[in-house]
Amino acid sequence: MEFEIPEHLRQIVELIKWFAKEKLRPLGIEYDKKQEPIPPDHPFFKEVKQMGLEIGTIGGGKEDGGTESGRIAERFGIPKDKSTMFATLSIIGAEILAWGDQGVTMSFPGPGLAAPPVRVMGTPEQKKMFFDFFRSSESPAWGAFALTEPGAGSDVARIRTTARKEGKYYILNGEKMYITNGARAEWVVVFATVDPKLGRAGHRAFLVRKGTPGFRVSRIEKKMGLHASETAGLVFEDCKIPEEQLLGGESYYSSKEGFKGAMETFNMTRPAVAAMAIGIARCAYEYTRDYFSENYLLNKVSILSAKIKAELERMKRKLDIARLMCLRAAYLMDMKQPNAKEASQAKAYAPPIALDVITKCLDLLGEEGSLEYHHLVHKAYRDIKVFDIFEGTGQAQRIVISKRLFANKGRPPEWLHS
């Protein structure tokens, strides 16, 4: 087992570290004070695009029209035979960028959360069309993923946005909410149902282009944290979608494998979300550690000093455990092995740990961390809460994990398999 970042990836990691510290953090604080999303015409997004850091541009292959791992490898001079470990790289990068500022990171242009379902479910023609759009766009462009509804979040079987077939078109009607970059996205992957009574078997996913008649933005959400990121509500009213934009085509949904394939996209994104939570918590932890170190409290022999050291040690230990869980899920993905249980374990464990760490930081800092609204640790406390909710709540993750534990009943431990 290797715990070192390969030499051919280190330059990418160093670039991300510099970018997070020098660019993301100042911008995140600025828009936290404004309590509004960064506008899409902000020059920062052109810089992101020029650097090849768009969200959704790591982890693909030839089917993505050359926009994914091959493009990253080419840009940084990575030999083609070594252009692996991109899931692992995305986990490392997600933590570092969140350490800089997660609200800004979520605003990055690119295919975004729409990329995984297109990559997993799309036909070759759909993949080429979708990824070529982002590759050829001269200006920053966004993608979005629309699943959550007012009455359906973690229980995705309850979605009520309908898709009615009429000739060579599907007619969408319904409402989506809490959609990251939903108002600025050029393409949105929208989940709907052909029959609510069928539950998951009735689900379909569609590629919907901005400006399609019947598709509109209902509102931009006001949030407790992550102010730099845009979160929108979307409405579909007799929205007419060509059948060619049914993700995967009709044959993809002929069995339960269709929904299973859709849910596999979460196995890609959940470890990344967990890593983001670690990054936010690490920002608070490092500020707290440095604050007490610079004020000499940790060099004194006292009960207070001993307590602070013990709390900081506990924080660091738990963050390290959470990081290893994320990396394990990513490693399995890179090895093209099943990782649903490991992805859910990382997602179930990391956000509560991150919240606990940040809460302890606030307790230790007292007035230093809590009086100023836009203080880094105060901001981290507001930013972190949603991470136990989106991409599936902690409760939903525990259901996924337990199902796989009982599915292996009677079998030897996984690490004993030949």
User: What are the φ and ψ backbone dihedral angles of 328, each rounded to 5 degrees?
Assistant: -65, -45
| Domain layout of the chain by residue ranges | 7-110+132-136, 142-253, 266-416
Question: What superfamily in CATH does domain 266-416 come from?
Answer: Butyryl-CoA Dehydrogenase, subunit A, domain 3 (1.20.140.10)
pLDDT of residue 212: 96
**CA pair distance 388, 348, nearest whole angstrom:** 7
pLDDT of residue 201: 83
Residue ranges of the chain whose pLDDT lies below 50: 58-70, 83, 416-418
Intra-chain end-to-end CA distance of the chain, in Å: 16
pLDDT of residue 396: 76
Token readout for 45 is: 């997004």
pLDDT of residue 65: 42
User: What are the φ and ψ backbone dihedral angles of 345, each rounded to 5 degrees?
Assistant: -60, -45
Cα 301 to Cα 186, 297, 306, 332, distances in angstroms: 59, 9, 7, 46
pLDDT of residue 372: 79
Q: Class assignment of domain 142-253?
A: mainly beta
Cα 283 to Cα 38, 260, 264, 310, distances in angstroms: 21, 36, 30, 18
pLDDT of residue 338: 86
pLDDT of residue 417: 47
Radius of gyration from C-alpha coordinates of the chain: 22
Q: Which fold has domain 7-110+132-136?
A: Butyryl-Coa Dehydrogenase, subunit A; domain 1 (1.10.540)
Token readout for 31 is: 């828009």
Q: What is the dihedral of CA 223, 23, 142, 283, to 10 degrees?
A: -50
Crossing angle for the helix pair 257-294 and 340-365, to the nearest 10 degrees = 30
| 4 CB-contact burial (10 Å; exposed 0-12 / middle 13-18 / buried 19+) | exposed
Catalytic residue positions?
Answer: 391
**CA pair distance 213, 154, nearest whole angstrom:** 29
Single-letter amino acid code for the residue at 349: Y
Other CB atoms within 10 Å distance of the CB of residue 213: 9
pLDDT of residue 368: 81
**CA pair distance 127, 130, nearest whole angstrom:** 5
Q: Please give the model's pTM, rounded to 2 decimal places.
A: 0.86
Beta strands at 185-193 and 169-180: parallel, antiparallel or unpaired = unpaired
pLDDT of residue 159: 85
Centroid of chain to Cα 274: 8
**CA pair distance 321, 278, nearest whole angstrom:** 10
User: What is the per-residue pLDDT across 329-342, written as a single tens digit (0 to 9) for each?
Assistant: 998 988 888 888 89
